[in-house]
Each structure stands twice: as C-alpha cells, then as structure tokens.
C-alpha cells in the first residue's frame, strides 16, 4: 500500500526521469562521454574493459568504438569451456558494481547479458557495452548506500532505516516502529543465511572486527 508502506514515491518525477533517460540513450555523443567516464573510473582495474571510443568518428547519430568480442555473461557452457573461473567472475561482477555505486556514484543502468561479456584475460575479464543508459547518485545518496550495506551486515535495523531515510527512499516521519520491525525480520533471515555459509569473523576480537569494518569502508571509497 503506497499510503502506508513508508516509501517516498513521486510518480511525476519518475516519469520525467524516464523521459530524460530515453532521450539521452539515443544521443551517441552523450553515450561516448559516459563510456569515457566509466573507463576513467576503472583505469586502474585491468579486469574491467571498456571499448575505446574513436572520437574522430562520433556524432549525435554515429558512435564508433573499438571491437571487443566476448562471451555473454550468462553463457555458462562457453565460460566453462574456456576455463574462466566462474566464482572469480561472480566476485568481480559484484565488486565492479559496488565500485560504481559506492565509490563513484556513476553506474550502468542496463546490465543485462547483452551488455556485459567476459573473456579469458586476467583470469576472467569483464567487458561492458552500451553506455546510453547511465545514472549518477548524489553524494548523500551514495553515502547512504554505504551506510545501508554496513547496517545490513551489522544486523542493525535502526541503522538500515536511517540509511534509507538518508537516501530518501523512506519518507521522514513515517511509522518507523513498523518499518524497523519489518527490517529486523529480513535482517534476521539474512544473518541466518550468512551463518549457514560460515562466519569467518566470529572468532575475531572487537578491535579486529572494527579494523576489518574500517578497511571495507575505505575500499568502498568512504
């Protein structure tokens, strides 16, 4: 129920944002700029590849890029045939998105298998295509997302709701008691899942756990 679930929706803004993204997606000069910025953000990461833009052959209606073939990210048989480590590929996919969302706040909005491929380089290199649909977080939203990730990891229902408010997903002044109760339920399920996979940090001292947490936030760009 949109009147009672605490979500802060503005349908007019959603419509306007969708229209803006649609027209940006068919502007190839804009897509070239997006691809260049995305590439710059990952220039120190050898296992992320962005096709090089041929700037002399770019206009609003023409986009010319380097040809970079790869295997669709969901073509499991071909990935295994080429000997690419699926676990490593999955970890790198997650890390690349956390980097986009939490460190730079500039991210690929259309990550279907036609837009992400891989090859054998560097043990499993991710190849991103199609930069027409990108978006950007405000600094406050980006920091709120980092807070959200760590509050979930720490099983902190109140912190989760605070982070959602900071991101303007949860409306300020909503029924926090009910929302926090729901958050505790889902966080409890998440913690059970984590423990089922083994908890490598349960034997750490409090200071060791704090240091690991600081290191993780630093890795996310906080």
Instruction: Count CA atoms closer than 13 A to 114's CA, side-chain side.
Output: 4
The residues assigned a catalytic role are 110
Bridge partners, residue 220, by sequence: none
Question: What is the sign of the dihedral through the CA atoms of 94, 123, 49 and 24?
Answer: negative
For residues 131-143, one letter each, b for 16 or more C-beta atoms within 10 angstroms of the residue's C-beta and e for the rest, the string is: bbbbeebeeeebb
Bridge partners, residue 136, by sequence: 106
Radius of gyration of the chain (CA): 20
Bridge partners, residue 53, by sequence: 65
Q: Is 151 exposed, middle or buried (0-12, 13-18, 19+ CB in 10 A)?
A: buried
Residue with tokens 């929706």: 9
């Amino acid at each position: 129920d949109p009147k009672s679930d605490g979500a802060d929706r503005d349908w007019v803004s959603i419509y306007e944002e969708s229209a803006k993204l649609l027209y940006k997606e068919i502007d190839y000069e804009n897509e070239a700029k997006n691809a260049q910025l995305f590439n710059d953000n990952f220039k120190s990461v050898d296992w992320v590849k962005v096709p090089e833009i041929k700037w002399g052959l770019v206009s609003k209606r023409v986009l010319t890029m380097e040809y970079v073939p790869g295997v669709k990210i969901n073509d499991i048989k071909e990935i295994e045939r080429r000997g690419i480590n699926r676990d490593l590929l999955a970890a790198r996919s997650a890390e690349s998105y956390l980097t986009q969302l939490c460190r730079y706040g500039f991210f690929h909005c259309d990550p279907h298998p036609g837009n992400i491929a891989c090859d054998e380089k560097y043990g499993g290199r991710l190849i991103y295509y199609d930069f027409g649909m990108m978006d950007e977080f405000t600094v406050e939203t980006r920091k709120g997302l980092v807070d959200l990730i760590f509050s979930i990891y720490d099983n902190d229902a109140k912190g989760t709701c605070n982070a959602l408010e900071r991101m303007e997903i949860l409306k300020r002044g909503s029924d926090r008691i009910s929302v926090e109760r729901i958050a505790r339920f889902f966080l409890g399920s998440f913690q059970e899942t984590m423990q089922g996979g083994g908890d490598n940090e349960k034997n750490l001292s409090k200071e060791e756990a704090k240091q690991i947490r600081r290191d993780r936030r630093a890795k996310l760009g906080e």
